[in-house]
Amino acid sequence: MTQSAELILIADDDVEMLQTLSCLLEKEGYKVITVENGKSAVADSKKQLPALILLDIHMPVMDGIKALAEIKSNKMTKHIPVIMLTVEGSLSEIQQAINLGARTYITKPSTGGEILKAVKGILS
């Protein structure tokens, strides 16, 4: 499967957050896939090869840090840019994510403008 320029995978266990981000990105013309845990994010990133992944740090089944490590260690998915999503923005977690290969992070809640700026900055 070839990589789609506009496909974005969002992984977050907060269903409201998934809906908000999906609507925001779909209005901008992106195609969105949503999952509610890190394990699904890893599996879907291999199947779908999205252009970008938005990955929440705190999720059940597999957290975002472990999911990021798996995505970045797989030769099929390691090139996919990842933006981490975090509520409290713990510096150690953010540093760990950046060290593992995350491109940047967004603290929740954020404005739609901030999120779109980060997404477009990476995908342009």
Contact present, 48 and 16 (Cβ < 8 Å): no
Question: What pLDDT is attached to residue 42?
Answer: 98
60 alpha carbon, distance to own chain's centre: 15
Question: pLDDT (tens digit, 9 = 90+) per residue, 92-121?
Answer: 889 999 999 999 999 888 889 999 999 999
- Say how far apart CA 100 and CA 102 lie, in whole Å: 6
Q: Percentage of the chain surpassing pLDDT 70?
A: 95
**Residue whose structure tokens are 């994010």:** 41
Please state the rounded mean pLDDT for residues 3-10.
78
Question: pLDDT (tens digit, 9 = 90+) per residue, 46-70?
Answer: 999 999 999 999 999 999 999 999 9
In the chain, the domains with their CATH numbers are: 7-123 (3.40.50.2300)
Q: How far apart are the first and last CA of the chain?
A: 21
Give pTM, 2 decimals.
Answer: 0.93
Task: Report the sign of the C-alpha dihedral through residues 77, 5, 119, 19, in that order.
Answer: negative
